[in-house]
């Protein structure tokens, strides 16, 4: 079963100062080696925002990381039904503001039938029907 990798896990994979770095490296490498992980176009954009902003990496290095992740993992793009899934989730949860980005990520995964997410911010996705969390179990 495929696993959608949240942006925070990708950031922790790169950020050696993060307390989650070693765990993220181990888990992301497992997903890559077993062809179980996927990312979305949204992930790649969010990753570049964090790397060039909060982490202060230069554009070239940030682009290299983005390219590498998009070559290692299949990159899912939103489909026509993704918006409908998002709108249904928003209606059910009355979500607004920045949390919409997390729900859009989940809606993109659900469009492809992917229900498991590897994230360090489970609360961001809590309560979305058919979404579960991957913690490294096989």
Note the pLDDT of residue 125.
Answer: 87
Report how far residue 62's alpha carbon sits from residue 56's, in angstroms, rounded to the nearest whole number: 9
Specify the DSSP class assigned to residue 6. Answer: P
Q: Which residues contact 118 (CB under 8 A, 6 or more apart)?
A: 3, 4, 5, 6, 9, 27, 28, 31, 37, 133, 134, 135
- Position 78 scores a pLDDT of 95
pTM: 0.92
Domains of the chain: 3-133 (3.40.50.1010)
Can you give the pLDDT at residue 100? 81
pLDDT at 127: 77
- Per-residue pLDDT of the chain in tens (138 residues, 90 and over written 9): 999 999 999 999 999 999 999 999 999 999 999 999 999 999 999 999 999 998 888 999 999 999 999 999 999 999 999 999 998 888 877 776 767 889 999 999 999 999 999 999 998 888 788 999 998 765
């Amino acid at each position: 079963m495929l696993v959608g990798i949240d942006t925070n896990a990708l950031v922790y994979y790169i950020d050696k100062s993060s307390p989650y770095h070693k765990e993220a490296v181990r888990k992301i490498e497992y997903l890559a080696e077993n062809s179980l992980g996927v990312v979305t176009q949204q992930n790649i954009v969010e990753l570049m925002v964090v790397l060039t902003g909060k982490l202060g990496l230069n554009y070239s290095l940030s682009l290299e990381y983005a390219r590498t992740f998009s070559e290692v993992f299949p990159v899912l793009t939103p489909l026509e039904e993704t918006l409908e899934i998002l709108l249904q989730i928003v209606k059910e949860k009355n979500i607004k503001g920045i949390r919409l980005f997390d729900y859009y990520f989940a809606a993109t995964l659900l469009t492809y039938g992917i229900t498991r997410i590897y994230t360090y911010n489970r609360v961001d996705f809590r309560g979305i029907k058919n979404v579960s969390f991957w913690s490294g179990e096989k």
